[in-house]
Amino acid sequence: MGDITMKINGMTVTAPEGSTILEAARLAHIEIPTLCFLKEINEIGACRMCIVEVKGAKSLVASCVYPINEGMEVWTNTPKVLDSRRKTLQLLLSNHRKECLSCVRSGNCELQQLCKDLGVTDENKYAGDMTETAIDDSAAHMIRDNSKCILCRRCFAVCEKTQGIGVIGPNQRGFKTTIGSPFDMGLGETSCVSCGQCIAVCPTGALYEKDCIDDVMAAIADPDKYVCVQTAPSVRAALGEEFGYPIGTNVEGKMAAALRRLGFDKVFDTDFSADLTIMEEAHEFIERVQNGGTLPLITSCSPGWVKYCEHYFPDMTENLSSCKSPQQMFGAVLKTYYAEKAGIDPKKIVSVSVMPCTAKKFEIGRDDQDAAGVADVDYAMTTRELARMIKRAGIRFTDLPDEGFDDPLGESTGAGVIFGATGGVMEAALRTAVETLTGEELKELDFKDVRGTKGIKEASYNVAGMDVKVAVASGLGNARELLDKVKNGEADYHFIEIMGCPGGCVNGGGQPQVSGSVRNTVDVRALRAKVLYDADQSMTLRKSHENPSVKKLYDEYLGNPGSHRAHEILHTTYVKRTINGN
């Protein structure tokens, strides 16, 4: 394909053949506003915010879907164009519940920002009837408020195309159109897996996670409660974005400092239990290989993926590792081993997690997640919730000193920190499994074949004379493609890592939201993942089996990986679900 030369706002622009006007404009450093557009996911030209004038065209055209051609002349900011965009915004506002001051997206709403940029202040220009809507709070992890929906269909596109689930979409037609589930079922009644990718792409406050900030703050204020917090690996790679830091900034030290100032009794690191997960999972893998167990072994760290497997591949739940996720393992150890060591009644411990994942809110309520007879984890917060909690408390995040985590459940290795990136669990497991099987120290710890944001990755490693075939998938659409090949006999693996969200936890449904324009032009997943790999490279200990605190846990309490006690505390069971049920 060659290049095409055209003019945009009188400037000569050269762009690759097949480009749209929107893409060509970006090459000329001109940002045409969009609302519905998501590259390769939702290219439908529906919102009409990206309209432009084209010489010779009878009407304004949608730049996100209109291809360029040689000699084309385009204008992006004429009075006619700007007037049309303003009217589009005014029409959207006429059917929008305008409670911006109390909206969770206030200050980070694409609709609000466009109104500000285009000077739209007359919110009642086209006042009249509004589409009848209802709030759906039936799911464990999120709330849908269609009174703030602009029908951009981003949520539908990511659920259908990226995740391959399709439990939400447009219902009815015309003015009555709303986004919902089939037959107007509550989201909690469907086979939604709680991944939260719909929330991540929503441009307004129509979709948001169920907030537990008030409950957590009340627990902290209760003198009879001992409130401990754990933070997942990828939270440190994204939290800073909520406070103005560039994407890809590691704020681990400031995060720990902020959590102490919020009043938590102990500030721990989920990386510790990521290391613990590897100890159990690597042992489980070796045991299955050596004793003819069910293969391939599939990781169980991502609760969105686990629920997806239960709904859509119930016959493969036996392939799932029986290991609890790092979040749940941490809570289980906190309320058993740590409680016993510290002399604290587990019933008085409030276990709080900060996660990049909305599915964690569903996971904490699953059966068989109560090693001490009480819930392993009481509250699961998203990265966004932690940011709101810090702001609510008046903590000046950017001014905080860097602080570390508390011992012993704050000690971790590089293997634990890379859990947040797709391929990280596989790489961490290989570091331990290879050394365990060979009895030799690895000279090269970086398994680069399983790194990167590609949806499906495959590799084969010769370990102790055996070719170990592995695969990694992120995003549930990719998971379906991979597992269909396994079921059809088209692929043969020993070990598979699956993450529910594209790119892994760094791109989880609970991470800071970025605008469509950023998503379309910046590889957010890669920038956040780099934080974790850089941290791994800088650490003295980079293998889970070298974590001194994990070793001590086994010596003093669990015995060996895979022991009876370890299974009672660190392992769980699964449910075979139907596609239409929860």
pLDDT band at 164 (very low <50, low <70, confident <90, very high): very high
What does the buried/exposed string (b/e) look like for 239-251 if buried means 16 or more CB atoms within 10 Å of the residue's CB? bbbbbebebbbbb
Q: Is the pLDDT of residue 507 over 90?
A: yes
The neighbour count for residue 280, using CB atoms within 10 Å, is: 24
Q: Which of 394, 436, 465 is nearest to 544 (CA)?
A: 436
Q: Which residue type sits at 419? A: F
How confident is the model over 117-126, as a mean pLDDT?
86
Average pLDDT over residues 508-530: 96
Residues of the chain with CATH 3.40.50.1780: 213-570
Q: What is the pLDDT of residue 122?
A: 77
pLDDT surpassing 70 at residue 327: yes
Taking the C-alpha atoms of residue 227 and residue 184, their distance in angstroms, rounded to an integer, is 39
Name, in order, each residue with C-beta under 8 angstroms of 76's C-beta and a sequence gap of 6 or more: 8, 9, 25, 30, 32, 52, 53, 63
Give the rounded percent of residues in the chain with a pLDDT score beyond 90: 96
pLDDT band at 582 (very low <50, low <70, confident <90, very high): low
Stretch 527-545: mean pLDDT, rounded? 97
Cβ atoms within 10 Å of 417's Cβ, excluding its own: 32
Q: What's the confidence (pLDDT) of residue 509?
A: 98
Of the options 2.40.37.10, 3.10.20.30, 3.30.70.20, 3.40.640.10, the CATH number for the domain spanning 93-209: 3.30.70.20
- The verdict on domain 213-570 having CATH code 3.40.50.1780 is yes
Could you read off the pLDDT of 411-422 as tens digits, one per residue?
A: 999 999 999 999
pLDDT one-digit tens code per residue, 234-262: 999 999 999 999 999 999 999 999 999 99
Domain 3-77 carries which CATH code? 3.10.20.740
Q: Enumerate residues 6+ apart whose C-beta is below 8 A from 302.
A: 325, 357, 359, 498, 499, 500, 501, 505
Which class for 349: exposed (0-12), middle (13-18), buried (19 or more C-beta within 10 A)? buried
Cis peptide before 346 (omega within 30 of 0): no
pLDDT tens, 36-95? 999 999 999 999 999 999 999 999 999 999 999 999 999 999 999 999 999 999 999 999
Q: Which of 232, 289, 340 is nearest to 556 (CA)?
A: 340
- Torsion sign (Cα): 231, 232, 236, 238: negative
Beta bridge partners of 496: 298, 471
Which residues in the chain are classed under CATH 3.10.20.740?
3-77
Whether the full predicted model's pTM is greater than 0.85, yes or no, is yes
Residue 245 tokens read as 């830091």
Q: What is the mean pLDDT of residues 116-135?
A: 88
CA nearest neighbour of 396 among 220, 214, 217, 261: 261
* Residue 581 pLDDT greater than 70, yes or no: no
Helices and strands (H and E) in the chain: how many: 20, 18
Q: What is the pLDDT of residue 278?
A: 97
pLDDT in tens, 435-450: 999 999 999 999 999 9
Nearest Cα neighbor of 530 from 443, 427, 424 is 424
Across the chain, what does the average pLDDT equal? Answer: 96
pLDDT, mean of residues 315-330: 98
Average pLDDT over residues 160-181: 95
So what's the pLDDT on residue 464? Answer: 86
> What SS3 string covers 440-498?
CCCCCCCCHHHCCCCCEEEEEEEECCEEEEEEEEECHHHHHHHHHHHHCCCCCCCEEEE
> What pLDDT, in 10s, does the model give residues 13-47?
999 999 999 999 999 999 999 999 999 999 999 99
**Per-residue pLDDT reduced to its tens digit, 434-493:** 999 999 999 999 999 999 999 999 999 998 888 999 999 999 999 999 999 999 999 999
Where residue 128 falls among pLDDT bands split at 50, 70, 90?
confident
Distances (CA, A) of 260 to 216, 228, 263, 335: 14, 10, 5, 20
Q: pLDDT tens, 181-230? A: 999 899 999 999 999 999 999 999 999 999 999 999 999 999 999 999 99
* Banded pLDDT at 381 (limits 50, 70, 90): very high
Residue that is written with structure tokens 């500030």 in the block: 267
